[in-house]
Amino acid sequence: MTHRFLPAAAFAVSAAFALPAAHAEKLTITVTNALDQARPAETITVPWAEVNRVLPGALLQKIAVRDAAGNLLPYQVTNVAPQAKDPENRGIAYGELIFQHDFKAGEKSATFTVEKTDTVSPPFPAKVFARYIPERLDDFAWENDKVAHRTYGPALGAPAPAGTGKEVLVTSGNDIWFKRVSYPIVDRWYNKGHDHYHVDQGEGMDMYNVGRTLGAGGTGIWDGAKLVSARNYANWKVLANGPVRAIFELSYDAFDAAGTRVSEVRRFTVDAGHWFDRIESTFTFAGSPQLNAVVGLNKTPGDKGQAPSIATDRVPGEGSLRQWVTQKSNDAFGVAVVVPTSKEGGGDAANDFVIAPVTSGKPLTYYVGAAWSRAGEIRTKEEWQHQVALQAARAGSPVKVALAATK
């Protein structure tokens, strides 16, 4: 899901352009991959400042991104951390150029080009989506073409006024909506009403149990004896919304962790074609050099009446915690977290989790994923374990990107 840029000395952009940037017609992007196994839907990002340096005046709607065979690729240009204002409309005020490539097993390198076009590029079908859901008690929901999730906001956590019967649930855990289709379903399911999405009518269903637990990849602080986590998210912010990548942040009010006040901001990066989302949780606190954060899974995630059989295991070398849940009539599903910096595992009555030290103000990076056997791509525990291992390998070996200006 992520990539690493080469050091400045090795960066073709910095000192080794094939041609001076002022005379370049194309930006050539070479991506190298150290893994032997396939890594589908690898997301490649290039700072827009480098695109603009090689192709001055390039605009997000008037470029073409091509692979080595000349095929046009879907792309996205974000305004996350824009480089500058652009009063002269020179195309400099963007964040990153984003596109994807399916690395086949054994494929170690791939080359792409970016060039300016005279005509406007058509919009690409969106494979990711994230939005605030005010019509369902402040839910926040997101999805890609593989799986959907939601989490819960202030309205759901607020006490019910007398006589209203309003649902109340206090948790910062994450829910899963299992999909059987690649197209977006979040709006369709909410628009059809709450009861509709608890039954599989061909697109998938909400059958994951969160309750007051960490759900699928929720976080908290562990003091060695007690787990404490935030209430429902307090604020949200969408930073990018497809077609290839969605980025959003959820912030949580401070909570008490054994006498230490802790607040949290989670930044989610949701990429097309991935079973796992990347999450960066930044905890802010004072008085302690480090705290032990946890990322966990609900011990009893199966749907009501499904008599689930739950196989849970932790793989320290991967930093992973994995579940495979077999149900009576709703088939099986897998859930996992991958926390590369985790040191140990643990649990309480409601959750299993892995533990990682955190420093105030520095993000903890982890990955949360899920898959349903009825969707037909991952059908067995062994296939899910393979996907979790692949995610851990990808996290530990990001692709490298080098740039060159070419004629």
d(CA 219, CA 385): 22
Q: What is the pLDDT of residues 117-141, one digit of tens each?
A: 999 999 999 999 999 999 999 999 9
Q: CATH assignment of 133-376, given 2.70.98, 3.40.720, 2.60.450, 3.40.190?
A: 2.70.98
Rounded mean pLDDT, 295-320: 95
- 17-31, 237-251, 255-269, 377-391: segment of lowest average pLDDT: 17-31
Q: What is the pLDDT of residues 139-180, one digit of tens each?
A: 999 999 999 999 999 999 999 999 999 999 999 999 999 999
Percent of the chain with pLDDT over 90: 86
What is the pLDDT, as a whole number, of residue 23? 63
114 closest CA partner among 102, 99, 94, 132: 99
What is the pLDDT, as a whole number, of residue 11? 32
d(CA 325, CA 328): 10
Rounded mean pLDDT, 327-344: 97
Rounded mean pLDDT, 325-347: 97
What is the pLDDT, as a whole number, of residue 92? 67
What is the pLDDT, as a whole number, of residue 211? 96
Domain edges within the chain:
3-119+397-406, 133-376
Percent of the chain with pLDDT over 70: 91
What superfamily in CATH does domain 3-119+397-406 come from? Golgi alpha-mannosidase II (2.60.40.1180)
What is the pLDDT, as a whole number, of residue 14? 31
Q: In this structure, are residues 368 and 174 in contact, taking their beta carbons and an 8 Å threshold?
A: yes
d(CA 293, CA 255): 13
Q: What is the pLDDT of residues 382-394, one digit of tens each?
A: 999 999 999 999 9
* Residues 6+ away with beta carbon under 8 Å from 280: 266, 267, 269, 363, 364, 365
Q: What is the pLDDT of residues 187-219, one digit of tens each?
A: 999 997 767 899 999 999 999 999 999 999 999
Rounded mean pLDDT, 252-270: 97
- Strands in 320-326's sheet, in edge-to-edge order, are 235-241, 245-257, 260-271, 276-284, 364-372, 332-338, 320-326, 309-315
What is the pLDDT, as a whole number, of residue 79? 85
Rounded mean pLDDT, 374-401: 98
- In the numeric block, which tokens belong to residue 142? 């997101």
What is the pLDDT, as a whole number, of residue 16? 37
What is the pLDDT, as a whole number, of residue 195? 72
- Does residue 82 have a cis bond before it (omega within 30 degrees)? no
Mean pLDDT across the chain, nearest whole number? 92
Rounded mean pLDDT, 359-388: 98
- What is the pLDDT confidence band of residue 229, given thresholds at 50, 70 and 90? very high
Higher pLDDT, 30 or 1: 30
CATH fold match for the domains 3-119+397-406 and 133-376: no
d(CA 219, CA 172): 8
According to DSSP, the β-strands at 399-406 and 3-5 are parallel
Q: What is the pLDDT of residues 57-116, one digit of tens each?
A: 999 999 999 999 999 999 999 987 655 566 666 666 789 999 999 999 999 999 999 999
